[in-house]
Structure 1
Amino acid sequence: MTENLTFNLTSDPWIKVLDKQTGTTKTVSLTDLFSNAQNYRRLAGDTRSQDFAILRFLLAIVHTVYSRVGLSGEAYSWLEVDSKTFQVLNTEDAEDGSIDEWLQTWDDLYVNGQFSNAIIQYLEGNSALFDLFGPHPFYQVTTEDYDSFVPEKKKVATGTGTVAVKQINRVVSESANSPAIFAPKAGSFKNRLTLAEITRWLITYQNYTGVTDKTKIDTAEKFSTPSGWAYRLNSVYAPGNSLFETLMLNFVVNPERKNETPIQRPTWEYNNISDYVELRKSLLQPTNLAALYTTWSRLLHIEWQENGQPTIFSAGIPMFSQDNLFLEPMTTWREDKQAKDGSKKPATKGTGSLGIAMWRNFGDYVSDKTAKDSHGPGIVDWLNQLVGKDLIDGDKTIYLNSIALVSDGNATSQSPVAEVFDYMGLNADVLFDDKEELRWPNRINGVIDTTQKVARQYWQFTTRIADVRNLDSRSFSSRETGKFYDRLNEPFKQWLVSLKNNDDREVKIEEWYRELRDVVNQSVDIFERSSTPRDHHGKSLKVNGQKQEKPMNIFIAENILRAQVNSLLFG
């Protein structure tokens, strides 16, 4: 029934954006988006994680096009490309190209303030690869291809191995076994989506797949069903003043600072899906960002019903290793404690760290250049290169956004339970300051360390209050210290963005410490206003690990806290 159907991502509207002029959302096609990206504020889809998945999909297109042709659409000197599709014809010689022409194209685009017609030419020349239906359905495989990879008992005709629309829709994320009670849709409506919605969630699901579905392709060696690649990241990217600027700031030309130009190959350019599956079976890590940004976690096949709704067949495919894949620019990194060679993996955010603001892990985003084996996000290194080459102004405020879809931590499901979004901003010259011991990033890390020492003293204060009230001190202190950090978040972000490279460091640091002391005093005042006779009378408690108990009440606890805070901040 799909023979005459078409829904083409290049010409049919499906991407939700925020219009700069009207401040309202609108739905646009790929061609419209790239023609007018400078007029849109940002992506404005159903969730932040969906926007992040689609941002990476759009970046894959940008990388593919402008790694092959310049602003005018003329191929680089070392490449031979098809004049209509811009697909590379001389893949064996293409690695010999210099990165300089590619960087020049980045500069030309940024100065131009909008994408050139070359990207529209690419979309039009490859429009058949972006149709949700047809012989090469977008982000899917045909019945014949699907059946050729899965076990006999999982073939399409058996009707097994499906995932519901409501599971792919990450606003609902309901499996057959666990109803989503507080979902925004009820009953059968959970499984109904428009073609535009299906397209957005199709891309998102490949990035943020859990492991509740158990069907896998046939392989010689067993493998665990993987989660989506973006699901494994503590994601970070640089937003701009427009969607065009966001795409350009995250258009990382040489993520590993190598002087070669790897062929960019997104998944839709594989005419034979068997080639892609064989590559994935080899477990080789991607060598280019277009491939990484369009990595599939599943082979998906859609059977369309008479009511226009899909039945989605899903089969897991092997995922390459995370270890030291520094090609990935949009994540923080952590040391793999189980590895003996000091390997690093992309950091992830768990349910236990939902309340930890981005600035509290500042060093994960802005790595210490003097630290051994330090490795920060590639996007930050890329922005540093742009400032160093004077491609963007050092006075520009650089914002970093962090987005994480957090799983339940269950190894057999990894169902999403929360979405966390945060941001912080700094002047570019501050972010990339290199003044040895006066270097701003090092001083900021020191300030954060002191701030967290103050928070620990506040924790002790709330523990004493809990003990006076005969409450569970761990639960009470966790909750109250969380509120304390909430009061710090916006003031600290404002202090960060106010910093300039010509500031007197000590004056600016003392400015924050005074603000921090004010927040401590405000927090103490809240306790005073809600205090009870029991708080005033108090009881005998051990203080600071002393063996003997001493009288304790809210006033004594306050005095101890204020003295400790003044000592930490002002000596």
Structure 2
Amino acid sequence: MKLVKGVPSFDLVSRPWLPVQLCDGTATELSLREVFACAGDVRRLVGDVPSQEFALLRLLLAVLHDAVEGPEDLDAWQELYESPDPFAGIPAYLDRHRERFDLLHPTRPFFQVSDLRTSKDEVASLNRIVADVPNGDPFFTMRQPGVKRLPFAEAARWVVHAHAFDTSGIKSGAVGDPRAKGGKGYPQGVGWAGNLGGVFVEGDSLQQTLLLNLVASDASGLHVGKDDKPAWRREQCGPDVQQGLESRPTGPRDLYTWQSRRIRLHHDDQGVHGVVLSYGDPLVSPDKHLYEPMSGWRRSKPQEKKLGRSPVYMPREHDPSRAAWRSLASLLMSQGQARTGQRDEPPAYLRAGVLKWIAELTYERLLPRDMLIRPRLIGAAYGTQQSVIDEVVDDGVTMSLVLLHEQDQRYATQALGAVEDSNAGVGALCDLAGDLARTAGRDPEAPRETLRDLGFGLLDGPYRQWLAGLGETQDPGEARRAWQRTAYRILRETADGQLAAACETGWLDDASSERIFLSRLNKAFPLRYESGADSGADPERADISKEVSP
């Protein structure tokens, strides 16, 4: 903290607060001005938790979108991407709005309400906004029993994170908020980003990451209003809900900085020691895919019935139990039409807007087909009526851009087919575990779950390596057959170990379980011994009943 004209100040434009990993592997903190100036030498943001990285990236994207006033279209984006200094306008922009980026400003503190208070002037512990503090579970954290004080830089990061991912539950009732009852604010849902299955495209540097996720205003499927702007260009929030929410969100800049909470940090000259936290601007989830590009979406029949319209799309949240490659279809398929036989039936799932945007760039040849990108998946899984964060999902897969090409889906089809092959192969392994357990007179469910986790765990590294190299092959069909051979070998060896252990313990007195397993495994990987002459065959038409001798 420093004093500006005798008033406390922590200026986020010039003071280091954003944690980053540089391209040489070292870690440091940078100011807003520095992070854009050095973006080409920064590998990535590094949050205190993965969800914080996602929230901070969205903040930087809001700054960039607003500074370049778009970009309006592909041509404007291309000019930025090919520029030797794409962020040249950022310093002047930050200077124009510098006052709104002061964490300790006396009347307009960054992402806060200066006079926020409860009727009894209570000040809560910083545990309310620090997401890695356990709620009744003291494991896997260095913050025990809680947080008593934060440096200003870290407090600023948690303020951004709270607006994005704060839990639901009962909060302080702020004076001046008519929603408060008896001094309490009753549950109104999690922060906006907490509803999402967060997706962004990670490049080789922060500069490339920011540009790849900078979706143009005229991109198909995205609505960006002429008045779309971030929180710091709107009226300062009070304790009540902002006026005019019925016409919002206006676009990504609005959503990336959505003020879902009302916050006031309490501090001295050494740091922050308390917080007042209450509910802010509500935002419902249905059909926000028109404005929110950093999530996949699923069609919701219950919401269609409730709202009386169709289709209705809700955010497609991440499953913490599934690795990113096992959910590859949600990343690759833009219009995965439901197989209903009705030509005009709306798709069951929509791909994240940022990935559809990358597909457009690939189709327009503004990015090379053999370029490697890494879609990152970050999201929070909440528990106990969304009052706690149970898990934070953080995963990604490296792939060639050609897999996103909407006019040439050969590579995507084979990549998705390989995932289905893997699912079937692991299913055969699980069935073997169940058969062996029943033979031994045990409940088969626990062994099945154990072998499922083991099978997918063993395939995880090899599949990611195979996927990263898929774009380099001239024959994606042959690559699929190569994957089947690899997966077959891994799962066969795993099964051999299980069978040997069963024989040693006397569970198995004949080879029937082994014969059944091999039959199932052969059906899971029917292409592994086919010749390359049939490389153009549709994998969905492959004769999966064909058995090949092991």
Query: If the TM-score is normalised by the length of the shorter chain, which range does it land in?
Result: 0.7 to 0.9
Q: 1:434/1:329 Cα in 2 relative to 1: closer, same or farther (>3 Å)? A: same
Partner residue in 2 for 1:548: none
Whether the aligned pair in 2 keeps the contact of 1:285 and 1:325 (CA below 8 Å) is no
Partner residue in 1 for 2:160: 203
Q: 1:535/1:218 Cα in 2 relative to 1: closer, same or farther (>3 Å)? A: farther
Partner residue in 2 for 1:95: none
Q: 1:535/1:498 Cα in 2 relative to 1: closer, same or farther (>3 Å)? A: farther
Whether the aligned pair in 1 keeps the contact of 2:359 and 2:406 (CA below 8 Å) is no
Partner residue in 1 for 2:11: 8
Matched, 1:164 2:129: no
Alpha-carbon deviations, 1:419-452, whole Å to 9, x = none?
Answer: 22211122212321524xx633233333322321
Distance 2:336 2:272 in 1: 56
Matched, 1:212 2:169: yes
- Give, in angstroms, the shift of residue 270 of structure 1: 1.9
Q: 1:315/1:379 Cα in 2 relative to 1: closer, same or farther (>3 Å)? A: same
* SS in structure 2 at match of 1:141: coil
Matched, 1:396 2:371: yes
* Aligned residue type for 1:526: G
- Among 351, 354, 370, the residue aligned to 1:376: 351
Q: 1:461/1:225 Cα in 2 relative to 1: closer, same or farther (>3 Å)? A: same
- Among 16, 31, 34, the residue aligned to 1:32: 34
Matches within 5 A, 1:140-539: 140-143=112-115, 146=116, 154-155=118-119, 158-160=120-122, 162-174=123-135, 178=136, 180-187=138-145, 190-216=147-173, 217-219=177-179, 224-254=187-217, 255-257=219-221, 262-273=226-237, 277-279=241-243, 282-305=245-268, 308-326=271-289, 327-338=291-302, 339-340=304-305, 341-349=310-318, 353-367=319-333, 369=335, 371=337, 372-374=345-347, 375-408=350-383, 410-411=384-385, 413-435=386-408, 439-500=410-471, 503-531=474-502, 533-538=504-509
Distance 1:535 1:120 in 2: 73
Alpha-carbon deviations, 1:29-72, whole Å to 9, x = none?
Answer: 0111111100111112212111111000100100111116x8xx
Distance 1:111 1:565 in 2: 49
Q: 1:11/1:305 Cα in 2 relative to 1: closer, same or farther (>3 Å)? A: closer
* SS in structure 2 at match of 1:417: strand
TM-score normalised by length of structure 2: 0.84
Distance 2:404 2:271 in 1: 51
Relative to structure 2, which stretch is displaced further, 254-263 or 355-364? 254-263
- Give, in angstroms, the shift of residue 109 of structure 1: 2.0
* Aligned residue type for 1:345: M
* Aligned residue type for 2:330: D
Partner residue in 1 for 2:63: 61
Whether the aligned pair in 2 keeps the contact of 1:252 and 1:379 (CA below 8 Å) is yes
* Aligned residue type for 1:186: Q
* SS in structure 2 at match of 1:169: coil
Relative to structure 2, which stretch is displaced further, 490-499 or 119-128? 490-499
Distance 1:424 1:39 in 2: 22
* Aligned residue type for 1:377: A
Partner residue in 2 for 1:136: 108
- Give, in angstroms, the shift of residue 260 of structure 1: 6.9
Partner residue in 2 for 1:111: 82
Q: 1:468/1:284 Cα in 2 relative to 1: closer, same or farther (>3 Å)? A: farther
- Give, in angstroms, the shift of residue 113 of structure 1: 4.3
Unaligned runs of 5+ in 1: 71-98, 148-153, 539-552
Whether the aligned pair in 2 keeps the contact of 1:433 and 1:440 (CA below 8 Å) is no
Matched, 1:565 2:521: yes
Distance 2:81 2:391 in 1: 36
Identity among equivalent pairs (%): 23
Distance 1:275 1:302 in 2: 14
* Aligned residue type for 2:390: V
Alpha-carbon deviations, 1:3-27, whole Å to 9, x = none?
Answer: 6211110000001111113x11011
Whether the aligned pair in 2 keeps the contact of 1:298 and 1:317 (CA below 8 Å) is yes
Unaligned runs of 5+ in 2: 338-344, 527-545
* Aligned residue type for 1:180: P
Whether the aligned pair in 2 keeps the contact of 1:433 and 1:439 (CA below 8 Å) is no
Distance 1:290 1:537 in 2: 63
Alpha-carbon deviations, 1:227-269, whole Å to 9, x = none?
Answer: 0111111111100000000000011113544697633311112
Whether the aligned pair in 2 keeps the contact of 1:17 and 1:40 (CA below 8 Å) is yes
* Aligned residue type for 2:199: V
Matched, 1:19 2:22: yes
Q: 1:292/1:362 Cα in 2 relative to 1: closer, same or farther (>3 Å)? A: same
Whether the aligned pair in 1 keeps the contact of 2:440 and 2:507 (CA below 8 Å) is no
* Aligned residue type for 1:378: G
Distance 1:425 1:182 in 2: 29
* SS in structure 1 at match of 2:214: coil
Distance 1:361 1:187 in 2: 37
Distance 1:272 1:424 in 2: 40
TM-score normalised by length of structure 1: 0.81
Relative to structure 2, which stretch is displaced further, 513-522 or 491-500? 491-500
Distance 1:198 1:29 in 2: 14
Whether the aligned pair in 1 keeps the contact of 2:16 and 2:30 (CA below 8 Å) is yes
Distance 1:266 1:288 in 2: 9
* SS in structure 1 at match of 2:199: strand
* Aligned residue type for 1:423: G
Distance 1:24 1:296 in 2: 33
RMSD: 2.7
Relative to structure 2, which stretch is displaced further, 512-521 or 331-340? 331-340
- Give, in angstroms, the shift of residue 214 of structure 1: 2.6
* SS in structure 1 at match of 2:301: coil
Whether the aligned pair in 2 keeps the contact of 1:430 and 1:501 (CA below 8 Å) is no
* Aligned residue type for 2:332: V
- Give, in angstroms, the shift of residue 517 of structure 1: 0.4
Relative to structure 2, which stretch is displaced further, 354-363 or 476-485? 354-363
